[in-house]
Amino acid sequence: MERIEQSKFRRISNKDKSSEFIARPVVTYWSDAWRRFKMNKVSMAALVIMVLLIVMVIIGPMISGYSYREIVGPPNVSPSGKYWFGTDELGRDVFTRIWRGGRISIIIGLLGAVIGTVIGSIYGAISAYLGGRVDTIMMRIIEILYSIPYLLLVIVLRLALNSNGIGTLILAMSITGWCGLARLVRGQILSLKQQDFVMAAEVLGVSQKDIIIKHLIPNTLNVILVSISFDIPGYIFSEAFLSYLGLGVQPPEASWGLMASTAQQNFQFYPYQLFFPALMIGLTMLSFTLLGDGLRDALDPNLRK
C-alpha cells in the first residue's frame, strides 16, 4: 500500500470561524411574506388608503365641531369653507355624517368578517378532519344555508326580533356569511390532515380538539387572512345595499348606504350629496380588494423565493 506523503497535508487553525458564518439572514415565512407584500406598490397604496379611512372614521366626526344629528345650517348648501362637504336636505353637516356613517359601515364589515371567520374556520376544520358521514351532513347544511337569500333573512329577523338595530343587521348577514370560508378551510385541511405532523400528533395522544385548533387551523391562516380581506368589502357593500333599500341603518343614524339612498332623490340638483358617500364606498371596497390581492400573492408559498 502506497504511503501518502505528509507534505501534502496542511494544518488549519481553528481560529477561522468563517465556516459557521451565515451569509444570508434567516427569513421566516411571515417576514418573507411582508417583504413581498411591500414590493407590491398597488397593495401598499391600498393599505395606506385603508388606514387613512379608518383614522378618519375615528376622528372625522370631531374635526368639524358639528353633530351628525343636529341641524347646523340651511338645507342643501354646496361645499364651502364653512361646510366642507355641504349640508343635506335637513341642514345637517355632510362631512360629519360621512365619517359617522363610515364608522358604522366599517364596524359592520369588520364584525361580520370576524364572526364569519371564527365560525367558518372552525366548522370547515371539524368537517374536514372528521370526514365520512359527519363531513357529508355538515356540507349539506352549508348548501341549505347557501340557498337562503340574506335579504329574506334580514326581513324575517327584523320582524321576529322587532329590531332595526345594527346587531340585527350583523346577525342576518353572518348567518350565511361564513359558508364560503368553511368550504375553503375544509379544502385546505383535507390535504393537511394526511401530513406527517398530524399523524405524529395523533400517535402522541393529542386530542382531536387540539389537533384542529393548534395544528390544522394555524396552517390555513394564509387562506383565512385573504378571505377576511375579501369578506370585509362584501359586508360593507351588503350594508350599503340594505340601507339603500331602507332595510339597514335607520335615521337619524348615518351610514354610507343610507346617505346614498337619501341623496339619490335630489341627485340632479345636489349631486355632491350622493358623490361623497358613493366615493367612500368605492374607495373602501377598492382598498380592501386590492389589499386582498396583495395578501394572496404574498402568502402563496409557491411564489416564495
Please, are residues 75 and 89 in contact by the beta-carbon 8 Å criterion?
Answer: yes
Residue 100 C-alpha cell reads as 359617522
**Helices (H), ranges, 4-149:** 29-39, 41-63, 94-130, 132-146
Sign of dihedral through CA atoms 210, 212, 213, 215? positive
Other residues' Cβ atoms within 10 Å of the Cβ of residue 197 = 12
Report the alpha-carbon angle 115-148-164, nearest 5.
60
CA gap 201, 152 in Å, rounded: 44
- Cell numbers describing residue 151: 335579504
What's the confidence (pLDDT) of residue 17? Answer: 56
Distance CA 189, CA 182 (A): 11
pTM reported for the whole predicted model: 0.76
How many H helices and E strands in the chain?
A: 12, 0
Q: How far apart are CA 292 and CA 286, in angstroms?
A: 10
Residue 278 identity (one-letter amino acid) = A
* Sign (positive or negative) of CA dihedral 96, 99, 102, 107: negative
pLDDT on residue 288: 85
Taking a C-beta distance cutoff of 8 angstroms, is the pair 236, 105 a contact?
Answer: yes
Domains of the chain: 112-305 (1.10.3720.10)
Contact between 220 and 192 (Cβ < 8 Å): yes
Can you list the pairs that 55-60 forms with residues at least 24 positions away whose Cβ atoms lie under 8 Å?
Answer: 56/99, 56/102, 57/99, 57/100, 57/102, 57/103, 57/106, 58/103, 60/95, 60/96, 60/98, 60/99, 60/100, 60/102
Q: What amino acid occupies position 139?
A: M
CB atoms within 10 A of CB 80: 11
pLDDT tens for each residue of the chain, 305 residues long: 567 677 777 776 666 555 555 556 666 767 777 888 888 888 899 999 989 998 998 888 888 888 888 888 888 888 888 888 888 888 888 898 999 888 888 888 888 888 888 898 889 888 888 888 988 999 899 888 888 877 777 778 877 777 777 777 888 888 888 888 888 888 888 888 888 888 888 888 888 888 888 888 888 877 888 888 888 888 888 887 887 777 777 777 888 888 888 888 888 888 888 898 889 888 888 888 888 888 877 876 555 55
Q: ω before 252 within 30° of 0 (cis)?
A: yes
**pLDDT for the residue numbered 48:** 92
State the amino acid at position 211 in one-letter form.
I
Q: Phi, psi (5° rounding) for residue 22?
A: -90, 110
Query: So what's the pLDDT on residue 156?
Result: 81
Q: How far is CA 156 from CA 96, 178, 187, 236, in A?
A: 33, 19, 32, 21
